[in-house]
């Protein structure tokens, strides 16, 4: 059984959110930017690329805010529909890919899990994975509980490996409260996914681990091989998609100048997250900063990836162990597109999440963790 004081629990949730928001600000300026364009404009990334704008809003976190509001209103035994109703009540119009389709479905009275599959060609995009952090935060050291919450949330807008992405990141955040070795965390979290022969998501993580072993000191070569591997998977998915499913084929065949992969698909992005965490662990003085910067330099959906990386490592380190160069510019401020909740103190957000987590621990996790006042 794990033990954690209320003070340390709050500190790690605060660290997770500070890491997440720092990752947002690192990743946002280069989101979807082709690798060589990014290299030409910014060179190697070692710090925030643009001055911190405290009014800047990243759309990724608003779903986690909705989840928090739903937990506070409905309690810790909430349903997928409870969360979905807050999407309808609280979100503005800045919704994309799977979430946009799901919201349209919800407004047409199509509820989870059908809302995640009906006319939804993006069911295995990155959206569920990007909003996973809160479920690990309210279930510290309780990965089975984090997995259950992630599945409840994920099916609102995703299916299959799209939900597996949310499960995996939620489990990693949960484990990070007590596991200080990131490679061990990565491998232990695999227990909560389908077996390798049953899941492309599991295969991608194992491939990323193999790629890292092959190129342990060269993230550029690692990224190149990862993208080559993903293209092979993508071509297989295209072949398996019926020719009549034009929207799905359009998504899988997304092509932009210099990019020949759908940038928001969950598979290449989890590969980048894994590699970023592994390469960043080389820097024992600033593991979080190194990892989010490498994640940004690897490209694709950089704000989502850097945010998840920051949330995992922030929970591992705790707020007091994150270098001030990453946290001071944030000024304990967080903006979001959620009606009535547009401005936050990051510390207040961490407090409210820790209050919910204390209830989860008391009612669901007492055989796994003890919270000490």
The mean pLDDT value for 17-42 works out to 93
**So what's the pLDDT on residue 245?**
86
Q: Is the dihedral of CA 320, 173, 27, 119 positive or negative?
A: negative
Q: What mean pLDDT is predicted for residues 318-328?
A: 98
| Total-model pTM | 0.96
pLDDT band (50, 70, 90) for residue 256: low
pLDDT band of 259, cuts 50, 70, 90: very low
Whether residue 113 is preceded by a cis peptide bond, meaning omega within 30 degrees of 0, is: yes
pLDDT tens sequence across 108-157: 999 999 999 999 999 999 999 999 999 999 999 999 999 999 999 999 99
Rounded Cα distance, 182 and 295, in Å: 15
The dihedral through the CA atoms of 347, 348, 349, 355 has a sign that is positive
Mean per-residue pLDDT, 174-201: 98
CA 293 to the chain's CA centroid: 16
| Nearest residue to 194 via CA among 151, 231, 229, 226 | 151
53-93 pLDDT, tens per residue? 999 988 889 999 999 999 999 999 999 999 999 999 999 87
Q: Which structural domains are found in the chain, ordered by start?
A: 2-372 (1.10.4080.10)
**Helix, strand, coil proportions of the chain in percent (round to 5)?**
65, 5, 30
């Amino acid at each position: 059984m794990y033990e954690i004081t209320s003070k340390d629990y709050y500190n790690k949730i605060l660290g997770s959110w500070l890491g997440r928001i720092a990752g947002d600000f690192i990743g946002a300026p280069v989101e979807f930017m082709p690798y060589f364009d990014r290299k030409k404009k910014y060179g190697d990334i070692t710090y925030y690329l643009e001055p911190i704008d405290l009014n800047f809003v990243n759309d990724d976190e608003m779903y986690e805010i909705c989840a928090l509001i739903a937990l506070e209103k409905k309690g810790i035994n909430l349903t997928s529909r409870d969360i979905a109703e807050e999407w309808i009540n609280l979100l503005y119009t800045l919704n994309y890919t799977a979430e946009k389709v799901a919201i349209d479905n919800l407004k047409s009275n199509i509820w989870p899990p059908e809302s995640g599959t009906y006319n939804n060609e993006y069911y295995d995009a990155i959206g569920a994975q990007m909003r996973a952090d809160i479920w690990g935060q309210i279930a510290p050291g309780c990965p089975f509980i984090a997995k259950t919450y992630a599945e409840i949330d994920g099916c609102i807008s995703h299916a299959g490996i799209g939900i597996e992405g949310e499960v995996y990141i939620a489990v990693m955040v949960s484990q990070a409260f007590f596991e200080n070795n990131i490679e061990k965390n990565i491998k232990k979290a695999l227990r909560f996914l389908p077996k390798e022969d049953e899941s492309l998501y599991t295969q991608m993580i194992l491939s990323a681990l193999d790629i890292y072993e092959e190129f342990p000191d060269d993230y550029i070569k690692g990224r190149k091989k990862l993208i080559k591997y993903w293209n092979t998977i993508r071509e297989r998915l295209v072949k398996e998609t019926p020719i009549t499913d034009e929207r799905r084929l359009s998504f899988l065949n997304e092509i932009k100048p210099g990019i020949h992969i759908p940038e928001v698909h969950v598979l290449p992005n989890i590969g980048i997250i894994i590699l970023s965490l592994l390469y960043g662990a080389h820097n024992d003085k600033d593991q979080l900063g190194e990892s989010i910067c490498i994640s940004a330099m690897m490209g694709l959906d950089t704000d989502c990836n850097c945010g998840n990386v920051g949330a995992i490592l922030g929970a591992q380190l705790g707020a007091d162990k994150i270098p001030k160069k990453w946290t001071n510019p944030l000024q304990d401020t967080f903006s979001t597109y959620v009606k009535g909740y547009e401005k936050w103190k990051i510390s207040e957000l961490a407090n409210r999440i820790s209050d919910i987590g204390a209830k989860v621990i008391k009612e669901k996790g007492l055989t796994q963790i003890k919270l000490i006042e």
